[in-house]
Amino acid sequence: MKKVISIFFFSCFLFNAFAGIAEKKTFTPLDLKKETVDTIPFVIDNDELEDFSDSLVSLPSSDLYCDFDTVNTHYAKFNINELKDSVKEIALYDKNSCGYVHPFMGKVTSDFGPRKRRYHYGTDIDLETGDAIGSAFDGRVRIAKKSKTYGNVVVVRHSNGLETYYAHLSKINVEIGQEVFAGQIVGLGGNTGHSHGSHLHFEIRYLGQPINPTEIISFTEHKLICDTLSLSKKTFDYVYEAKKAAAKNFASSKNRNGKKVYSVKKGDTLSSIARRYRTTPKVLCKKNGLKINSNLRLGQKLKV
């Protein structure tokens, strides 16, 4: 049975009115009531949806994104320096939408920020496997797949250019290309991918760049704290912090003699480590006094 999906032009139309980079001084909020909105829907079927490039006009923020990539989880990050000193005002939802619905009302167990010498690009919310996870805003599903790190993950693109991520799900309830509304169940919470214990990893990105969700959401009151996100270079100050954390991580991966050491992780083999460091299993064996069929222990330090 062919599934029929209704597409509304007006989200793209409205977004155009919000999207331009404007100096904060000159930004004039749009009065939605004064806008004439064309709400005549048209329909496309699954065959047409297979080639998204042909239907860009119907996809959210098609004026900002040059594609609707349904394979790669992340969109290439935009250059923050392009923002210069401007402030881009992004309306979080339009008045004709379903607004905001908190994805899951649970306790935050990990915030956006540096974590164990790595950077955590989302907010973790505690849950029980099987708890229902809702889309934060209206949008269209760009990614619905199993990823090594995110586990079962859903990415929804919204008409204002933001994308929201729902990771480590035990089950995905939506399909690529599907239109979803705020609060609609996108999947069930779980513990898939790189995850220790059931939780939701919730992430917000704009043109590939992660944004701290607490810039716009109160995770204690489960609601938005503002109607508009002011995007400026300051929003991405954390990038320098993340780079510092990465440099520190790299430095600490060297031993006192300045030689690099690698700590063996789950699933590693001599071949996979050798590939990572562009060497051969034989060379690794020689450096570490191992035999080619030696078993590796988790946490074992190898000279690389």
What span, in angstroms and rounded, lies between the C-alpha atoms of 21 and 206?
Answer: 14
Q: How far is the CB of 195 from Zn ion (least distance, A)?
A: 8
Q: How far is the CB of 134 from Zn ion (least distance, A)?
A: 18
Would you say 89 or 124 has its CB closer to Zn ion?
124
Q: How far is the CB of 91 from Zn ion (least distance, A)?
A: 27
What span, in angstroms and rounded, lies between the C-alpha atoms of 248 and 56?
Answer: 42
Q: How far is the CB of 145 from Zn ion (least distance, A)?
A: 17
Q: How far is the CB of 201 from Zn ion (least distance, A)?
A: 3
Placement of tokens 């915030």 in the chain: 111
* 74: Cβ contacts below 8 Å, ≥ 6 apart: 205, 208
Placement of tokens 């959210």 in the chain: 60
C-alpha 62: how far from its chain's center?
A: 18
Residues 123, 160, 2, CA angle at the centre, nearest 5°?
95
Would you say 124 or 138 has its CB closer to Zn ion?
124
Three-state DSSP class for 261? strand
Would you say 194 or 234 has its CB closer to Zn ion?
194
Would you say 98 or 239 has its CB closer to Zn ion?
239
Q: How far is the CB of 125 from Zn ion (least distance, A)?
A: 9
What span, in angstroms and rounded, lies between the C-alpha atoms of 16 and 129?
Answer: 39
Q: How far is the CB of 68 from Zn ion (least distance, A)?
A: 25
Would you say 124 or 179 has its CB closer to Zn ion?
124
**Residue number with the smallest Cβ distance to Zn ion:** 201
Would you say 10 or 104 has its CB closer to Zn ion?
104
What span, in angstroms and rounded, lies between the C-alpha atoms of 259 and 178?
Answer: 50
User: Phi first, then psi: what are they for 195, rounded to 5°?
Assistant: -150, 140
Name the strand (E) or helix (H) holding 119. strand 118-120
Question: Using an 8 Å Cβ cutoff, are 185 and 132 in contact?
Answer: yes
What span, in angstroms and rounded, lies between the C-alpha atoms of 280 and 142?
Answer: 38
What span, in angstroms and rounded, lies between the C-alpha atoms of 130 and 301?
Answer: 38
Would you say 124 or 131 has its CB closer to Zn ion?
124
Q: How far is the CB of 151 from Zn ion (least distance, A)?
A: 11
Three-state DSSP class for 140? strand
Structure tokens at 291: 């035999």
Q: Which residues bind Zn ion (CB under 5 A)?
A: 122, 124, 201
Would you say 60 or 210 has its CB closer to Zn ion?
210
What span, in angstroms and rounded, lies between the C-alpha atoms of 67 and 28?
Answer: 29
Name the strand (E) or helix (H) holding 124. strand 123-126
